[in-house]
């Protein structure tokens, strides 16, 4: 019978393509909406800034007109002529000029509270409408004379500040004007209009909130006006950078904020608005929610369509899964999968059945091979450990004999005979932990006779671990390494042997405060090949793995604060 083919891959690819298409459309729509909203926000705020810039420009022109009217006033000129002719300005003349200036200022009722005037004639006499913003005459004259060299009749000077009686300070800028006869152009002095920065700030302060902020800056980015007076005369660096990089745009983005600026045409100043991007792009949130809902709906519809098709595959797939799970969990090597009506599943079932038959054959053959291999490996590893122990013990005894310490050598031979008796009489591969500890105690006694007061060994064993069986002679090489390498440091070596049961496994920890072991050395130990002439940590590790299984063995860690910690993991249950 002809087998029918299931095109599962086609449905998966179709689902991925549809998801990619939906994602692409949603992303494109989102980015387009973002650009449209951003342009709209920029346009709306630019229009508003243009209106503010026009108002500020007009107010500055009005201040300059006011300065011209005062500077060209004939009554003031006549009074100054007398003073320049040698007559000293009297009180009546002072009051007259100050009154004329006050009259001009109060004729501008909308700005009168923000302006005071100071007229300084060539003899140094000062005529002021207010003493709240007194000026430094010499500094003001020097500044104006420098501007006068450029051929200007008037000049606007940077922001200054003065302390108020309440402890704060106000900021103002100065409009300087030559006082001269309109006909003869005879120069009589300098007129300074001190204009409170509030004249500028009142144009935008009502629009300022948590999401919007406004600055007035000069072409160098120095802040001329801001609601926070501490920022005045500081530099708005981001504006300078944006103005240099791109002179075509009147906006830039910085620190999650949108900055829009507009020139105050006749003065080289700019009104700058800072808008939080989060608030500016708030309409985008609704579009984002819509796109997310649309994407979820499309995904659900696509999923439902594919699920309907996938149900046709559920029966054959369930049968295959159950059979394979039974084989995997229970190791049933007699399991067979019935043939399927679908081509793909039929081929899988035939291949699986053939695989089971071959596994049965190979498993039987492998059991015999593995049994022989384990016996050879055990003999090989144990042959390395035991001769190594005997060689080191006899070397220690020979050392005492050479030194003429016969009593000590005799005592060492006594302990060694006890150890040798255990080695020769022990045929079992596994022994109780308590018996292994007795073996270690004899070994430690031998080494203490050789290295007096050089080390101590502490056994900290839980009572329930003493009757647990472990591979014989498995701990002695670890203790031996801890002693020999620990003697390289000039201090008492403390070796601790701890044992505990956890998660149905036995953990024995051997720690010392010796020279320690670098991570590179640890890696090197576990990468070296086993050699017949060398006994070491790797041999112990491999012997545990062979006797207990691949998930057991030993690990090496840095001991805190110094030394090495070796953890041996044995199978208990």
Question: Residue 129 belongs to a domain with what CATH number?
Answer: 3.30.450.20
Residue 260 burial (CB < 10 Å; 0-12/13-18/19+)? Answer: buried
- Over residues 526-552, the pLDDT tens digits come to 875 544 434 468 888 888 888 888 889
278 HSE (CA, 13 A, CB side): 4
Measured between alpha carbons, how far is residue 366 from residues 354, 372, 373, 376 in Å?
Answer: 18, 10, 10, 15
Average pLDDT over residues 392-401: 76
Mean pLDDT of the chain: 79
Q: Does residue 279 lie within any of the structural domains? A: no
The pLDDT score that the predictor gives to residue 134 is 47
Distance from chain centroid for Cα 525: 36
- Over residues 35-50, the pLDDT tens digits come to 888 888 888 988 999 9
Average pLDDT over residues 440-465: 87
Q: Does residue 332 lie within any of the structural domains? A: no
The pLDDT score that the predictor gives to residue 141 is 58
117 HSE (CA, 13 A, CB side): 27
On whether the CB atoms of residues 348 and 41 are closer than 8 A, the answer is no
Q: Which of 136, 165, 200 represents a domain boundary (last residue)?
A: 200
Average pLDDT over residues 204-222: 89
The pLDDT score that the predictor gives to residue 499 is 95
Comparing CA positions, the residue from 178, 173, 177 lying closest to residue 194 is 173
Average pLDDT over residues 484-505: 90
The pLDDT score that the predictor gives to residue 414 is 84
Radius of gyration, alpha carbons of the chain: 49
Percent of the chain at pLDDT > 70 equals 80
375's enclosing H/E stretch is helix 343-403
Average pLDDT over residues 375-390: 55
Q: Does residue 65 lie within any of the structural domains? A: no
Confidence of residue 131 (pLDDT cuts 50, 70, 90): low
Q: Does residue 562 lie within any of the structural domains? A: yes
Tokens of 488: 């390289």
**φ, ψ for residue 443 (rounded to 5)?**
-65, -45
Q: Does residue 544 lie within any of the structural domains? A: yes
Average pLDDT over residues 153-181: 69
- Over residues 109-120, the pLDDT tens digits come to 777 788 888 888
Residue carrying structure tokens 């923000």: 114
The pLDDT score that the predictor gives to residue 90 is 76
Q: Tell me how many domains the chain contains.
A: 2
Measured between alpha carbons, how far is residue 516 from residues 110, 457, 471, 489 in Å?
Answer: 85, 17, 26, 10
What sections of 72-120 are H helices per DSSP?
74-84, 91-107
Confidence of residue 413 (pLDDT cuts 50, 70, 90): confident
Comparing CA positions, the residue from 397, 378, 374, 375 lying closest to residue 386 is 378
The pLDDT score that the predictor gives to residue 378 is 55
- Between 164 and 244, whose confidence is greater? 244
Max Cα distance, the chain (Å): 136
Average pLDDT over residues 301-319: 73
Give the Cα separation of 120 and 541 in Å (integer): 100
Average pLDDT over residues 346-351: 78
Q: Does residue 253 register a pLDDT over 60?
A: yes
**φ, ψ for residue 51 (rounded to 5)?**
-65, -40
Tokens of 528: 């070296």
Q: Which of 149, 177, 200 represents a domain boundary (last residue)?
A: 200
On whether the CB atoms of residues 462 and 499 are closer than 8 A, the answer is yes
Q: Does residue 247 register a pLDDT over 80?
A: no
The pLDDT score that the predictor gives to residue 370 is 63
The pLDDT score that the predictor gives to residue 531 is 46
Percent of the chain at pLDDT > 90 equals 13
Confidence of residue 377 (pLDDT cuts 50, 70, 90): low
Residue carrying structure tokens 């049933």: 332
316's enclosing H/E stretch is helix 282-330
Q: Which domain holds residue 110?
A: 72-200
75 three-class SS: helix
- Between 143 and 166, whose confidence is greater? 143
Q: Does residue 165 register a pLDDT over 60?
A: no
Q: Which of 172, 200, 228 represents a domain boundary (last residue)?
A: 200
218 three-class SS: strand
Give the Cα separation of 211 and 274 in Å (integer): 8
Residues 6+ positions from 569 with CB-CB distance below 8 Å = 505, 506, 507, 544, 552, 553, 554, 555
Q: Does residue 421 lie within any of the structural domains? A: yes
On whether the CB atoms of residues 46 and 262 are closer than 8 A, the answer is yes
Q: Does residue 276 register a pLDDT over 70?
A: yes
Residue 462 belongs to domain with CATH number: 3.30.565.10
The pLDDT score that the predictor gives to residue 533 is 37
Give the Cα separation of 159 and 173 in Å (integer): 4
Q: Does residue 330 lie within any of the structural domains? A: no
Q: Does residue 373 lie within any of the structural domains? A: yes
Most confident of 58-62, 135-139, 177-181, 299-303: 58-62
List beta partners, residue 253: 258
Which long-range contacts (C-beta less than 8 Å, at least 24 apart) are formed by 378-383? 378/429, 378/543, 378/546, 378/547, 380/530, 380/532, 381/530, 381/539, 381/542, 381/543, 381/546, 382/473, 382/543, 383/532
Confidence of residue 3 (pLDDT cuts 50, 70, 90): low
């Amino acid at each position: 019978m002809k087998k029918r083919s299931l095109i599962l891959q086609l449905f998966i690819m179709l689902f991925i393509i549809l998801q990619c298409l939906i994602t692409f459309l949603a992303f494109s729509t989102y980015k387009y909406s973002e650009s449209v909203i951003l342009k709209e926000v920029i346009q709306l705020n630019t229009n508003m800034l243009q209106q503010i810039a026009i108002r500020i420009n007009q107010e500055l022109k009005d201040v300059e007109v006011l300065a011209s009217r005062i500077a060209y006033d004939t009554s003031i000129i006549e009074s100054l002529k007398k003073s320049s002719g040698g007559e000293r300005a009297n009180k009546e003349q002072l009051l007259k000029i100050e009154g004329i200036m006050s009259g001009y200022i109060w004729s501008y009722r909308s700005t009168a509270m923000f302006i005071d005037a100071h007229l300084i004639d060539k003899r140094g006499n000062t005529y002021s409408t207010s003493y709240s913003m007194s000026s430094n005459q010499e500094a003001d004259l020097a500044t104006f004379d420098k501007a006068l060299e450029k051929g200007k009749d008037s000049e606007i000077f940077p922001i200054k500040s003065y302390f108020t009686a309440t402890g704060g300070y106000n900021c103002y800028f100065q409009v300087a004007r030559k006082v001269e006869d309109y006909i003869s152009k005879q120069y009589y002095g300098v007129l300074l209009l001190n204009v409170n920065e509030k004249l500028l700030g009142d144009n935008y302060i009502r629009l300022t909130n948590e999401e919007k902020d406004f600055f007035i800056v000069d072409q160098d980015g120095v802040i001329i006006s801001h609601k926070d007076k501490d920022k005045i005369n500081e530099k708005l660096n981001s504006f300078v950078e944006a103005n240099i990089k791109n002179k075509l745009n009147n906006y830039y983005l910085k620190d999650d904020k949108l900055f829009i600026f507009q020139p105050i045409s006749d003065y080289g100043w700019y009104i700058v608005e800072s808008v939080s991007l989060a608030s500016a792009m708030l309409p985008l949130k609704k579009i984002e929610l819509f796109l997310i809902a649309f994407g979820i709906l499309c995904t659900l519809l696509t999923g439902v369509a594919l699920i309907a098709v996938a149900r046709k595959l559920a029966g054959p797939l369930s049968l295959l899964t159950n059979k394979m799970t039974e084989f995997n969990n229970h190791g049933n090597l007699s399991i067979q999968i019935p043939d399927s009506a679908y081509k793909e599943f039929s081929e899988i079932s035939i291949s699986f059945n053939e695989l089971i038959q071959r596994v049965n054959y190979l498993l039987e053959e492998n059991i015999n091979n593995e049994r022989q291999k384990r016996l050879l490996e055990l003999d090989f590893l144990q042959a390395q450990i035991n001769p190594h122990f005997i060689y080191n013990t006899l070397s220690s005894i020979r050392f005492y004999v050479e030194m003429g310490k016969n009593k000590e050598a005799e005592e060492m031979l006594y302990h060694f005979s006890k150890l040798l008796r255990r080695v020769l009489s022990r045929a079992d591969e596994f022994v109780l932990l308590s018996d292994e500890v007795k073996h270690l105690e004899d070994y430690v006694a031998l080494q203490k006779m050789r290295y007096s007061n050089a080390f101590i060994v502490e056994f900290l064993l839980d009572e329930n671990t003493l009757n647990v069986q472990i591979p014989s002679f498995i701990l002695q090489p670890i203790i031996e390494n801890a002693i020999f390498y620990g003697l390289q440091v000039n201090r008492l070596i403390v070796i601790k042997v701890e044992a505990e049961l956890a998660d149905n496994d036995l953990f024995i920890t051997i720690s010392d405060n010796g020279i320690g072991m670098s991570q590179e050395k640890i890696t090197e130990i576990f990468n070296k090949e086993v050699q017949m002439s060398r006994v070491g940590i790797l041999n112990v590790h491999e012997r545990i793995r062979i006797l207990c299984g691949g998930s057991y063995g030993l690990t090496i860690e840095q001991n805190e604060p110094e030394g090495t910690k070796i953890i041996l993991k044995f199978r208990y249950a």
